[in-house]
Structure 1
Amino acid sequence: MNDAIVLLGMTTSLLELISFLLAVMTVALTIRQVHWGWLFSILSSGLYAAVFFDAKLYGDMGLQVMFILLSFWGWWQWWRGDGEGEQLHVTSLTRAQQLFAVLAWAALFAVLVFFLKAYTDTDVPYADGFLTAGSLVGQFLLSRKKIENWLVWILVDVLYVGLYVYKNLHLTALLYAVFVIMAIMGLRSWSKSCQQ
């Protein structure tokens, strides 16, 4: 399933293609705030873990495992609401929460770079670590329906396009280019329903 195939002039695999389609469904459902997007996230992340292992993007592979765990948690958050019987609404981060998110990103980045350099044979520990850390922050914010998740995803997805081109994962690079557009759409859509 991970054998090379050529699709639209790009070398890919059936595994990467299926992961691509499931990931697009995930974001499309998330933009509409449909909780079933979390199921597609779990499936896509499981398949992408295998794709990234093959490409020696171990941070991204580990990220997919974290995405699976965070997707179960996010699904639960969207289903159960705010803990007081109310539906979870789109809200903004406070200044303190914004600072915490930035510091969490920096701390995760430092830990991941150390791990990737010490224990793996990756050739891109800084890019992999930075984008993995940002993706974890973005996924956490998405799980809590924080509008800033889309800003994180726009930045991360733009940078991922370059990383995946470098790693010859051209279909995945295309996916992340599509994600940039979808994240902008998500930001606009969620802005309309944001409750400060």
Structure 2
Amino acid sequence: MNDPLSFLGFSTTPLELISFVLSIVTVLLNIRRIHWAWLFAIVSSATYGIVFFESRLYGDAGLQGVFIVASIWGWYEWLRGKGEDERPLVVTHLDRAGWSWSLVGWALGFVLLSWFLHAWTDTDVPHMDGFLTAGSLLGTLLAARKKVENWHVWIAVDILYVGLYVYKGLHLTAVLYAVFVVMAALGLRSWARAAREGAR
């Protein structure tokens, strides 16, 4: 069922191809701040979890489970709003403290995940996997709170993911993440404008 196939000149599998399409739809909806993005994120995370596990990218595979939980929370946040009066979330920027806590969280996540992956799995890329897993989690949490800076995180993470996936032979996914870099730049521009306008 998941036998190798060729797509656009790349060797892939049906599951990786399905995950590819779902991920593109997720980011497109996210750029436009449409809450259905979270549903597609849940499904694409589930399918990519299998793809990454089979490639021994255990940090990324485990991250997909966290993504599913975070996506449920993000969907709830976007629909429910914030505060006792449940006002809709609007797009905002991180303040200095928010930036500091985000970077500290990323660094701490990197150290813990790298140690875990090195000690308890047979992955051959524990440090890169840990660093990008922690960064991806941060990007998801910032997106759930409608922070413009989620796109800064995604641009940095996606660029590095391209190299990692080429190394692991996931060439279609590498192309996907190269596309994500461009989409994240578009998302940054769109959300920065929305923050200036106080938009949802």
Q: TM-score, normalised by structure 2?
A: 0.96
| 1:134 matched to 2:138 | no
- Distance of 2:183 and 2:88 partners within structure 1: 24
CA distance in 1, matches of 2:132, 2:187: 20
Matched, 1:179 2:191: no
Aligned to 1:120: 121
Inter-partner Cα distance in structure 2 for 1:128 and 1:179 = 18
Question: In structure 1, the residue corresponding to 2:12 is in which secondary structure?
Answer: strand
Residue type matched to 2:5 in 1?
Answer: I
Amino acid aligned to 1:34: I
Matched, 1:166 2:167: yes
The answer for unaligned runs of 5 or more in structure 2 is none
| Per-residue deviation, residues 32-89 of structure 1 (Å, max 9, x unmatched) | 0000000000000000000000000000001111000000000000000113321100
Cα distance in 2 for partners of 1:8, 1:36 equals 28
Corresponding letter in the other structure for 1:14: P
- Give the 3-state SS of the residue equivalent to 1:194 in structure 2: helix
Alpha-carbon distance in structure 2 between the residues aligned to 1:26 and 1:166: 25
TM-score by length of 1: 0.98
In structure 1, C-alpha distance between the alignment counterparts of 2:159 and 2:82, rounded to whole Å: 32
Residues 143-177 of structure 1 deviation map (CA, whole Å, 9 limit, x = unaligned): 00000000000000000000000000000000000
SS of the equivalent of 1:59 reads helix
User: Amino acid of the residue matched to residue 44 of structure 2?
Assistant: S
* Partner Cα separation in structure 1 for residue 106 and residue 24 of structure 2: 25
Give the superposed CA RMSD.
0.9
SS for the counterpart of 2:56 is coil
Distance 1:190 1:117 in 2: 37
> Partners in 2 of 1:63 and 1:174 — Cα distance?
20
Instruction: Name the SS of the counterpart of 2:33 in structure 1.
Output: coil
How far off its partner does 1:8 sit? 1.7
Asked whether the 8 Å contact 1:20–1:175 carries over to 2, the reply is: yes
**2:150 is aligned with 1:145:** no
Unaligned runs of 5+ in 1: none
Deviation at 1:2, TM superposition (A): 2.7
Q: Provide the C-alpha distance between the structure 2 equivalents of 1:35 and 1:157, rounded to a whole number of angstroms.
A: 22
